[in-house]
Amino acid sequence: MDNQERQIYLDYAATAPMWPEAVDAMLPFFTERFGNPSGVCKAAQDARKSVETARQMIAKALGDVPPETIYFTGCGTESDNMALTGYVNAVRSAEPEKPIHIVVGQIEHPAVLETAQSLKKQGVAVSYAKPDADGVITPESLKAAMRPDTVLVSIMYANNVVGTVQPVKELAAVSHAYGAVFHTDAVQAFGHVPIDPAAEGIDLLSASGHKFGGPKGVGFLYAREGLKLTPILNGGGQERHLRAGTLNVPGIVGMGEAARLCTASMETSSVRIAELRDLLEQRVTSKLPDVTVNAKSVRRLPGHSSLTIPGVTGENVVLMLNLRGICVAAGSACTSGETKPSHVLLAMGRSEKECYATVRITLGERTTREEIETASQALIEEVTKLRRMNLG
Ligand code: PLP
């Protein structure tokens, strides 16, 4: 714990520390307010009321969508599965003979890529929309992947490796022009950039509590009114018969509070955090001019920095910084641990060597200027040492 208190945490894309207010809001639901919202007694009514308040908070944070369009899930991964499999199965049951084709971004998280692979094994045709060198999937690139039988497009709102924010409104318009539904994995984006599903043409959207200062093990799916989905879990009739299972009341309450706090602070926070991110990049590139800042010239998440540092491996940099109490990541958190080059950087045209030389530094609500000064100096020193030792 001591060590954690002293650590400089710069891995917000992996998970964010919780808002203390969100923790406080959750606590009573573990003890005296323990009711099951599906029941009828007083405790149940209390829990149900709190769940509905959280639903309203999330709906408000999401461009004021109707609260009934929010379905609580167990995580971002589940929301992605529910969107892709749930929609494909709904199309299948309405028109069993209809050929089904879906398009997913080549740089999606495994939660989408693996779901698409699973659907492929069940006879669904899958195409991939390619990103450009900055990690942007352009409307032209999406068009090239579309077919007359495309029923669903899934392209993430913001990428978890390089932080690129996609032109979602344009991509949704292309999808609709082909009669397809548009899903976006907004796990990295929700709570960090404003999102307005109605204005942007988003039909389905996934998010996860722990990426925006809520708890782990809870997420949600937005599904536009009137859109039919088939449940992916068999069981009770919770969440208007779409997601069976007793609701995670403390988690939902904490996530709702986190959504409210993110919305309230987003305008000022995102400017402050982006300034710190730019400071870090400026410090590092002024001392190490051969470092490439990935996706620098396009719209990125405010706290996201992906640096390719020739002559070192990202993993070694992560280990060295960790010894100095600084937490950063080599690739995306969900794939680090495996020593495979990032499929995102490869799709952006980077060589394997460049992929291995990449570090992801992600800032958030609690990041201070002092931490950034310390971390950038430490990064410069460790890279210089590794290069001198020719350790890569
Ligand atoms: N989608 C993206 C873009 C992510 O970054 C992640 C997690 O890193 C997920 C989905 C999975 O979310 P969860 O951990 O809530 O299952």
User: Rounded distance, CA 245 to CA 239, Å?
Assistant: 9
* Pocket lined around ligand 1, Cβ cut-off 6 Å: 75-77, 80, 109, 111, 156, 160, 185, 187-188, 208, 219, 333-334
pLDDT at site 391: 60
Q: What is the mean pLDDT of the chain?
A: 95
Q: What's the 290 CA to ligand 1 centre distance in angstroms?
A: 31
pLDDT confidence bin for 369, thresholds 50/70/90: very high
CA within 13 Å, CB half, 26:
22
Greatest extent of the chain over all pairs of C-alpha atoms, in Å: 69
Smallest CA separation from ligand 1 atom 13, residue: 76
Extents of the domains making up the chain: 3-16+266-389, 20-260
Catalytic-residue membership of 334: yes
Average pLDDT of span 224-249 = 97
Average pLDDT of span 337-355 = 89
pLDDT at site 205: 99
Q: What is the pTM of this model?
A: 0.96
Smallest CA separation from ligand 1 atom 14, residue: 76
pLDDT confidence bin for 339, thresholds 50/70/90: confident
User: Any idea which fold 20-260 has?
Assistant: Aspartate Aminotransferase; domain 2 (3.40.640)
Average pLDDT of span 347-368 = 96
pLDDT at site 334: 44
Q: Which atom of ligand 1 is nearest to the CA of 77?
A: 16
> The domain 3-16+266-389 is classified under which CATH number: 3.90.1150.10, 3.30.70.20, 3.40.50.300, 2.60.120.560?
3.90.1150.10
pLDDT at site 94: 97
pLDDT at site 216: 98
List Cα–Cα distances, 140 to 26, 104, 295, in angstroms: 45, 14, 19
Secondary structure of the chain in HEC code, one letter for each residue? CHHHHHCEECECCCCCCCCHHHHHHHHHHHCCCCCCCCCCCHHHHHHHHHHHHHHHHHHHHCCCCCHHHEEEECCHHHHHHHHHHHHHHHHHHHCCCCCCEEEEECCCCHHHHHHHHHHHHCCCEEEEECCCCCCCCCHHHHHHHCCCCEEEEECCCECCCCCEECCHHHHHHHHHHCCCEEEEECCCCCCCCCCCHHHHCCCEEEEEHHHCCCCCCCEEEEECCCCCCCCCCCCCCHHHHCCCCCCCHHHHHHHHHHHHHHHHHHHHHHHHHHHHHHHHHHHHHHHCCCCEECCCCCCECCCEEEEECCCCCHHHHHHHHHHCCEECECCCCCCECECCCCHHHHHCCCCHHHHHCEEEEECCCCCCHHHHHHHHHHHHHHHHHHHHCCCC
For residue range 69-87, list pLDDT tens digits in order.
Answer: 999 999 999 999 999 999 9
Q: Residue 7: beta bridge partners?
A: none
Q: What's the 272 CA to ligand 1 centre distance in angstroms?
A: 25
Q: Which atom of ligand 1 is nearest to the CA of 209?
A: 15
Is the pLDDT at 3 greater than 80? The verdict is no
Smallest CA separation from ligand 1 atom 4, residue: 187
For residue range 6-42, list pLDDT tens digits in order.
Answer: 799 999 999 999 999 999 999 999 999 999 999 999 9
Catalytically annotated residue among 75, 262, 334, 355: 334
Q: What residue type is 140 in one-letter code? A: E
pLDDT at site 332: 44
Mutate to test the pocket of ligand 1, among 109, 212, 252 (most ligand atoms within 8 A of CB): 109
* Long-range interactions of 144-147: CB distance < 8 A, separation 24+: 145/103, 146/103, 146/174, 146/175, 146/178, 146/180, 147/101, 147/178
User: Rounded distance, CA 181 to CA 172, Å?
Assistant: 8
